Amino acid sequence: MRLYTVHELSGVAVDSEGVEFVHEGFCWPAFFMALPWLVYKRLWLALFLYLVALVLFGVAVTWAGFTGLAALACSLALHFIFAAEANDIHRWTLTQRGYREIAVVSGRNLIEAERDFFRRWSGPSATPRDDTSFTVTATVPVTPGAVWPRRPASDPHGDDHGVLGLFPRAGG
């Protein structure tokens, strides 16, 4: 199962255009194609800092006298570190653009995670929240004919004892 954080833009319409899902974990596209990935995600500040880091890395490798395999190993290490943090950089950029994290969902792929989220989503938030508060939605597989169905607010037998368990009423 893959985890995704769900980010919502303040003032989004009901059609869910301002909702964005970000994968949690290592980003393989950022590892193999960092520059195109940054451009595709429109992470301009991260792109600028990445280019500066590449130039500084090239100067450091030349200054240290690395050749061949040592430079390649250092380059792969740099790309590995970037790919490990790429989705966090994407989340930070979304926060800077006015998005806020509203949920965490899981699924075998993005489509399943989106389906799970939108099935339970009650629509865009009416009032903006502060940056520190967000709703975490746990993903529980829903099976038809669940073993423990939800009980109505009041006990059908007239006994509202708040009993926990499988018995319909206290002493049953």
| DSSP-assigned states of every residue in 2-64 | EEEEEEEETT--TT-TTEEEEE-S--HHHHH-HHHHHHHTT-HHHHHHHHHHHHHHHHHHHHH
Q: Which two tokens stand for residue 93?
A: 């950029």
* 3 state SS of 106: strand
Q: Residue 56: what pLDDT?
A: 94
User: Distance between CA atoms of 62 and 129, rounded to whole angstroms?
Assistant: 49
Q: Residue 63: what pLDDT?
A: 92
Burial of 86 (0-12, 13-18, 19+ CB in 10 A): buried
Name the nearest CA neighbour of 115 among 101, 124, 125, 105. 105
Q: How many CB atoms lie within 10 A of CB 99?
A: 20
Q: Is the dihedral of CA 95, 42, 80, 25 positive or negative?
A: positive
The reported pTM is: 0.66
Q: Residue 156: what pLDDT?
A: 53
Q: Residue 37: what pLDDT?
A: 95
**Tens digit of each residue's pLDDT, the chain (172 residues):** 899 999 988 776 656 578 899 999 999 999 999 999 999 999 999 999 999 999 999 899 989 888 889 889 989 999 999 999 999 999 999 999 989 998 999 999 999 999 988 888 777 665 444 444 444 444 444 444 444 444 455 545 555 555 555 555 555 5
Contact 87, 25 (CB under 8 A): yes
DSSP letter at 124? S
Q: Residue 31: what pLDDT?
A: 94
